[in-house]
Amino acid sequence: MSEDNQNPEVKKHTFEAEVAQLLHLVTHSLYSNADIFVRELVSNASDACDKLRFEATNDDSLYEDDGELKIRIAVDEEAKTITFTDNGIGMNETDAIENLGTIAKSGTKAFLDKLSESQKQDGQLIGQFGVGFYSGFIVADTITVESRKAGEPSDKGVRWISDGTGSFTVETITKDTRGTSITLHLKEEYSEGEDNYLDRGKIKRLVNKYSDHISLPIQMRKEVWQEDVKEEGDDTEDQAPAGGEMVLTDEWETINKASALWTRSASEIDDDEYIDFYKNITYDFDEPLTWTHNRVEGRVQYTQLLYIPKKAPMDLYTREQQHGLKLYVKRVFIMDDAEQLLPMYLRFVKGVIDSADLPLNVSRELLQESRDVKSIRDGNARRVLTMLASLANSEDDAKQEKFAQFYSEFGDVIKEGLGEDMSNQARIAKLLRYATSTNDKVETSFEDYKARMIDGQKAIYYLTADNLAAAKNSPQLELFKKKGIEVILMTSRVDEWAMNFLTQFDDTPLQNIAKGAVDLGDLQDEEEKAEAEKAQETMKPVVDKLKTTLGERAKDVRVSNRLVDSPAILVTPEGELSPQMIQMLKQMGQEVPDTQPVLEINPEHPLIKKLDGNEQFDDLAQVIFDQALLADGGQLEDPAAYLKRVNELLMR
């Protein structure tokens, strides 16, 4: 430790009122979070080194021939102390009085003032703002700080001592080594038993947990195993194994990985390093599909290193799914699974966010409210979408292949974004791919579709179904096939829900062809329209009779202009939930009212023609309705009755 000469002049100072208040709160409320002092003191030491590095860019001499910045932690079991030493910027007497005796941050002061008496008892709340250096007083009854500022003479060192109550003392000392050492004289209860911070293993574990990515080496004295030496003449020769013990050496070993990869410039990091880091933070054996690494300078400054995995996790669709973002504040680990930093539909993204603008003791509750966090979340979402867009739009086959791989794993999740993230809806819509009535492969984008629209087509037509086969054979498609109009076939469970939120793409309306009446507008010629009108007239008696026969089963019956080969079809009335959607919501345990479909009939179909004046009108009507329901992927309420009717009709 430092060499010093005692200065007879020890000056006593009282803490600023707010500090005294804060100290009281810290020691009375944060005892259940005692561990935090390790990361706070390591973080301060790391900041001090960062500051020196910054100052030294203009004045190299500040390094004083000691440019290897590091942090050392020493435990003294006899003295019951733990000491954090750094060779960073250091403090002189004025600095120490100013920095350790007052609260610099006005936000913290205001926060303190606002806390009610009962809130002050709440460790969670207190933990929300940076208690920093003062956290040492949770475990220590006295803290001694010795420091000497970089570039100042060695006899201008300072010793600051306090017991964390009302006052502190400062005195001038001689300190040859630049930087700061902070010695905690541990309270009785923290120097024995379960909470014994004199246990080197415990300190190491805490450093690994919270400060592994501090980019400076954090060192502790190396311990080695030393076997008991047999005394000469001791030839009892019993077979007991030789004993031994761990002994402390004079050698220092680095205990953190010091691998804050994200703090390095992207141009200096090779792919293997990115891949290793990904594996390290995710425990994924596979390589990531792709990643993006940026330093964002804006209202909030932060670094983002975001990865997309190759495979979706098993629990992607369960609510408990863990989010993969780790939050750091100035390289100090704050929390895993920081779900506020990404919207839900991007929950598969892994990586690290490091922001210097968030407080070290930020809690989940605070994250939820913070505008800074919102701005980080928006930035992350935009960045992921941009990265995906550049894969999707790339001319490079390998990148396109990657996008296809991404889409088959995560395509359904990003569709949730259509409803969740309105500000990025257009960006998300551009990434979506579907099968269509002319291409089974899930590769057509809305853009591709638009480029293939036929003359006079004014809408993007789509159909939702349970699977591709059902979609392709849907009677809804008949007219579109006849007219050569391509229809997008959506077959995933989220499609219909998600499409509720997307009504247009690039100014072209999107239309679900199974909802409401079809209006092909200019795509229908005059002759067809005239024919349709005529059919409405002639079929009126049949339509009316059907309405009576079907009663509650159908909301309405009308003549269809969308059918070619099928006799009839069920249509969801505009603005109502489709049968698939109702089924899905019910499966999710939601209460949904049953809705009735509209039955549309094909006036040209022989079966429909047969209805007029038929003796078995009722049976035929029910069978036609049931078949339309089956064709739509629905389930019959009374299959036996259906079979009986069909058989009767067959036997005629």
Ligand X SMILES: Nc1ncnc2c1ncn2[C@@H]1O[C@H](COP(=O)(O)OP(=O)(O)OP(=O)(O)O)[C@@H](O)[C@H]1O
Residues that bind ligand X (CB under 6 A): 40, 44-45, 48, 86, 88-91, 99-100, 130, 132-134, 180, 359-360
Nearer of residues 149 and 402 to ligand X, judged by Cβ = 149
Provide the minimum distance between the beta carbon of 176 and ligand X in the complex, in angstroms, as a whole number. 17
Provide the minimum distance between the beta carbon of 125 and ligand X in the complex, in angstroms, as a whole number. 15
As a whole number of angstroms, the distance between CA 444 and CA 488 comes to 8
Nearer of residues 44 and 512 to ligand X, judged by Cβ = 44
Cβ-count burial 486-513 (b if 16+ within 10 Å, e if not)? bbbbbbbbbbbbbbebbeebeeeebbbb
| 422 in Cβ contact with 482 (< 8 Å) | no
Nearer of residues 33 and 596 to ligand X, judged by Cβ = 33
Q: How far apart, in Å, do the first and last CA atoms of the chain sit?
A: 107
Provide the minimum distance between the beta carbon of 141 and ligand X in the complex, in angstroms, as a whole number. 18
* Nearest alpha-carbon partner for 584 in 414, 469, 465: 465
As a whole number of angstroms, the distance between CA 565 and CA 585 comes to 32
CA 380 to chain centre: 9
Q: What are phi and psi of 604, to 5 degrees?
A: -90, -10
Residue 352: count of CB within 10 angstroms of its CB: 25
| 217 in Cβ contact with 125 (< 8 Å) | no
Provide the minimum distance between the beta carbon of 135 and ligand X in the complex, in angstroms, as a whole number. 8
Q: Which residues, in sequence order, are CB contacts of 190 under 8 Å at separation 6+?
A: 34, 139, 140, 196, 197
Nearer of residues 93 and 495 to ligand X, judged by Cβ = 93
Provide the minimum distance between the beta carbon of 44 and ligand X in the complex, in angstroms, as a whole number. 3
Provide the minimum distance between the beta carbon of 70 and ligand X in the complex, in angstroms, as a whole number. 12
Nearer of residues 185 and 323 to ligand X, judged by Cβ = 185
As a whole number of angstroms, the distance between CA 599 and CA 557 comes to 5
Nearer of residues 135 and 602 to ligand X, judged by Cβ = 135
Provide the minimum distance between the beta carbon of 466 and ligand X in the complex, in angstroms, as a whole number. 55
Nearer of residues 359 and 603 to ligand X, judged by Cβ = 359
Tokens of 453: 């629209």
Provide the minimum distance between the beta carbon of 409 and ligand X in the complex, in angstroms, as a whole number. 39
Angstrom distances, CA of residue 383 to CA of 118, 262, 277, 376, 396: 42, 16, 20, 10, 20
Nearer of residues 133 and 317 to ligand X, judged by Cβ = 133
Provide the minimum distance between the beta carbon of 434 and ligand X in the complex, in angstroms, as a whole number. 49
Cβ burial, residue 616 (10 Å; 0-12/13-18/19+): middle
Nearer of residues 113 and 537 to ligand X, judged by Cβ = 113
As a whole number of angstroms, the distance between CA 625 and CA 68 comes to 83
Question: Left, alpha or beta for 232 (phi > 0: left; psi -120 to 50: alpha)?
Answer: beta
